[in-house]
Amino acid sequence: MKILIIGATRGIGKALLETALEKHHDVTVLARTPEKITLDHSGLQVVQGDVLDLAAVEAAAKGQDVICSCIGVPITFKPVDLFSKAAHNILAVVRKNPGQKLIAVTGIGAGDSKGHGGFLYDRIFKPLFLKSIYADKDREEELIKASGLDWMIVRPAGLTNGKRTGKYHVYNDLTGVVSKRISRLDVAHFIVEQLDNPTQFGKTPLLTY
C-alpha cells in the first residue's frame, strides 16, 4: 500500500514511518525539513513541503492510497489553528482522489472523548496546558466527520516511548472508560493493522492499555 505521512519527523508519525516500512508498505513523507528524516530505505520517499501549502499536499498525495496526518505542536497558550487548517487542505486533496483514505491522529480529550483522560489530565493538565490545542483538534475532528470521505480518527491515550506490544484496548463506546497510557509504537501498530484489515474507518477509536 502507498502511504503519505504528514508529521513523520517525530512522535507517532516517526513510529508510523518505521512500522509501515517494516511491513513493506511504500511510504512518502511530506516534511518542512526533510533532513530530519534520517532513515534510508528503498520504500521511502521524502518530499519537502508544508501541510499548510495546498499545492504541496496535492503533489505529495498523488497516487497514494491513504494520507496519515500525525502533525503536532508544542504546548502553547496562544490560539492554535494548525490542525483545522491542515484538515481543510488534506480534505480538499482527498476529495480529488476517489478511493483515497484519511487517517488523522488527535488524542484523548478531543471530541466526545473529553472527560475520559483521568482526573489529573481532565481537570488540571488539559485545561491549563492544552486548552487551545484541543480546541483546534475539536475543529479538525468536526471537519473530518462532516466530510463524507473515508476517514478514521485515532485518539491515543497519554503517550509513552515504550515498546511495541500489540496488546492494547480499542474503544468505540467510552462509557465508564478512563484512559491510561499507550506507546507511540503501539499507536503506529494499530494504524498499520487497520491498513491491512480496516475495521475502524468512519469511527473514532480510543487506544489505551
What digits encode the pLDDT tens for the residues 14-48? 999 999 999 999 999 999 999 999 999 999 999 99
pLDDT for the residue 90: 98
For CA atoms 91, 92, 95, 99, give the dihedral sign. Answer: negative
pLDDT for the residue 131: 96
Spans of all domains in the chain:
2-208
- The CA–CA distances, whole Å, from 173 to 181, 187, 200, 205, 207 equal 18, 18, 13, 9, 12
Binned at pLDDT 50, 70 and 90, residue 1 comes out as very high
For CA atoms 163, 168, 173, 177, give the dihedral sign. Answer: negative
pLDDT for the residue 192: 98
Q: What is the dihedral of CA 7, 9, 10, 13, to 10 degrees?
A: 40
What digits encode the pLDDT tens for the residues 137-169? 999 999 999 999 999 999 999 999 999 999 999
pLDDT for the residue 119: 94
What digits encode the pLDDT tens for the residues 95-125? 999 999 999 999 999 999 999 999 999 999 9
pLDDT for the residue 139: 98
For CA atoms 8, 158, 203, 82, give the dihedral sign. Answer: negative
Binned at pLDDT 50, 70 and 90, residue 91 comes out as very high
pLDDT for the residue 130: 96
pLDDT for the residue 62: 97
What's the average model confidence in pLDDT over 50-70?
Answer: 98
Give the rounded percent of residues in the chain with a pLDDT score beyond 90.
Answer: 100
What's the average model confidence in pLDDT over 78-95?
Answer: 98
pTM (2 d.p.):
0.96
Q: What is the CATH number of domain 2-208?
A: 3.40.50.720
